[in-house]
Amino acid sequence: MKKGFQRPWENDAIRWWSVAIWGVVWIGLFTHLNSPSELERRATEEFALRRVAEAATLQHFAGSSSPDWLAKAFGFDPESLREETAELFDEFMAEGELPASVAAHWAVMFDALGDPSRAKEAWEQINASTPLGEKRKEIALALIEDAEPSASLRAWTIMRYRQGISELPTWLLLVRESDSEGEQVRRWMEEKGTAMIRRGMLAHGVSLLVCLAALGGGIAFLRRRKELSLSAPPFRLSAQGWNSRYALREFFIAELVGVGAAFAVGFLLGQLGYGVLGWMLSGIAIFVVPAIWLSYRLTPGPRAALRLFRIRDSGWSYRQLTVFTAAGLCFFAMGIGILFLLDPDGSGSISDSLRPGDLDSLGNVWQSFLLAVILAPIVEEWIFRGFLYGGLRKRCGPVLAAVLASGCFAAVHGYSWLGLVTVFGYGLVFCWLYQRSGSLVPGMLVHAIYNGVVTLQLVSWFSLH
């Protein structure tokens, strides 16, 4: 251990006003980053609604050849697709928030699913004030009324398709034709729809296994909870000895440094012509840099933190690790049930889940898995539960420390109010796992499994790649 390294967190000279200044700067920065402009918010929402319509139509298009029992079991039969999309559509229409730019997608989707009343209702939302809106209106009208498109409309549609600018109304109009473009689009729609269905069935199977493991883990934990009282880690440093002011201030600074590093990496590589690589590395930097900063500011380094958080040389048995992890999954299963009750149609969190940056290229899909399943579980548990919660619990107590740490954890995600409540609740689960087990390992595993299940579901049912 470095000589005198314990002095910073034993030093009572750190003032709360200095912590408050860094906290205000942190709140201001993340409020700015997580508060997109109205234009950006609408663009994200439009993408999400457009992709829902596209995915439902592709699944219906490809699932028509599947056995009825299989389609009903996994929810891609016409009735299930119609019910799910109708709930979402009705919610947005009731609030007057269905964008006119995606109304054509929903109109032709409902027409394909056999819901003419909602198809007409969506068609009436189409904005005809722009040339593109006028063309969409013509395409939707031709599809809904089963009319023959004009020669100019068909030529415009083919031109856009050959230019690579295609969307759901264009696909459905082209597949009605028997020419080469029509056959090509038909094969493409069948391939994409079939891929979605196969991936979706796999994702549902994985989710079912996780739910069964959660149920078994909850029962096992209740039966053996008295046997799972673990001793404190045999290490000289203790999170209970940290000065909470110092730990909180260093958390704020670490997060700001991480954002700065991510921006610098992305900007530099973007200027050099490596924009995609810069975007990927900036996503990694915003996770890793704060973890490294805190490791050296609050402990002698990452190796010391590994021992402190009982990640290395923990002395755990596989039984203890398995039961704690499964118990954490049980809480998550309960949380998913509560989320479903709060938002049964998914309208409250649709823009949190479906983002073009995560779904619209194969590289982005793989990066989503890298960040969600590997980096986020390790680094976020390291930062928010290990250092932040560990630094606050001596002065604040475990309950208030968990609330404060989980509030910061939710704030950095920048979701809708429903997403923030959900992430806050999961943060409390992770704090409980760390407090109860003395190790970050169960929380990391539960975090990884949950993120993996959610990401697999989104990519399986909504990605075109």
DSSP per residue, 358-379: HHSSHHHHHHHHIIIIIIHHHH
Residue 452 has pLDDT above 80, yes or no: yes
Are 240 and 9 in contact, with CB atoms under 8 Å apart? no
Which residue type sits at 25?
V
Residue 241 is predicted with a pLDDT of 59
Residue 373 has pLDDT above 80, yes or no: yes
Residue 128 has pLDDT above 70, yes or no: no
Identify the weakest region by mean pLDDT among 139-148, 263-272, 374-383, 402-411.
139-148
Identify the weakest region by mean pLDDT among 187-196, 236-245, 309-318.
236-245
Residue 347 has pLDDT above 80, yes or no: no
pLDDT grade, residue 314 (50/70/90)?
A: low
pLDDT grade, residue 239 (50/70/90)?
A: very low
Of the CA atoms within 13 Å of residue 276, those in its CB half-sphere come to 8
Residue 5 has pLDDT above 70, yes or no: no
Please give the average per-residue pLDDT across 362-370, as a whole number: 83
- In angstroms, the CA 62 to CA 165 distance is 22
- In angstroms, the CA 419 to CA 424 distance is 8
Mean pLDDT of the chain: 81
Residue 401 is predicted with a pLDDT of 92
Q: Counting Cβ atoms within 10 Å, is residue 329 exposed (0-12), middle (13-18) or buried (19+)?
A: buried
Residue 231 is predicted with a pLDDT of 46
pLDDT grade, residue 57 (50/70/90)?
A: very high
**What's the pLDDT tens digit per position in 133-184?**
677 777 777 787 777 777 888 788 888 777 777 788 888 888 877 677 778 8
Of the CA atoms within 13 Å of residue 448, those in its CB half-sphere come to 14
Question: Which residue is associated with the tokens 């709930």?
Answer: 87
Residue 410 has pLDDT above 80, yes or no: yes
Q: What are the backbone angles phi and psi of residue 238, rounded to the nearest 5°?
A: -135, 135
Residue 348 is predicted with a pLDDT of 64
Token reading at 302: 């990452």
Residue 374 is predicted with a pLDDT of 92
- In angstroms, the CA 31 to CA 25 distance is 10
Please give the average per-residue pLDDT across 403-419, as a whole number: 87
Residue 29 is predicted with a pLDDT of 86
Q: Name the DSSP class of 149.
A: P
Identify the weakest region by mean pLDDT among 30-34, 147-151, 277-281, 343-347.
343-347
Q: How far, in whole angstroms, is CA 203 from its chain's centroid?
A: 15
Residue 2 is predicted with a pLDDT of 45
pLDDT grade, residue 301 (50/70/90)?
A: confident
Percent of the chain clearing pLDDT 70 (strictly above): 88
What is the pTM assigned to this prediction? Answer: 0.86
- Secondary structure (H, E, C), 367-431: HHHHHHHHHHHHHHHHHHHHHHHHHHHHHHHHHHHHHHHHHHHHHCCCCCHHHHHHHHHHHHHHH
Please give the average per-residue pLDDT across 270-285, as a whole number: 83
Q: Name the DSSP class of 130.
A: S
Residue 344 is predicted with a pLDDT of 64
* 448 contacts: CB under 8 Å, gap ≥ 6: 373, 374, 377, 378
- In angstroms, the CA 77 to CA 107 distance is 18
Does residue 380 come out as left (phi exceeding 0), alpha (psi in the -120 to 50 range) or beta? alpha
Write the CA distances from 143 to 57, 116, 134, 279, integer angstroms. Answer: 14, 11, 14, 40
Residue 10 has pLDDT above 80, yes or no: no
* Domain boundary assignment for the chain: 7-35+197-462, 59-177
Higher per-residue confidence, 225 vs 82 = 82
Residue 396 is predicted with a pLDDT of 83
pLDDT grade, residue 376 (50/70/90)?
A: very high
pLDDT grade, residue 72 (50/70/90)?
A: confident
**What's the pLDDT tens digit per position in 423-445?**
898 899 899 888 888 888 889 99
Are 157 and 139 in contact, with CB atoms under 8 Å apart? yes
Residue 1 has pLDDT above 50, yes or no: no
Please give the average per-residue pLDDT across 415-429, as a whole number: 86
pLDDT grade, residue 400 (50/70/90)?
A: very high
Higher per-residue confidence, 247 vs 363 = 247
pLDDT grade, residue 234 (50/70/90)?
A: very low
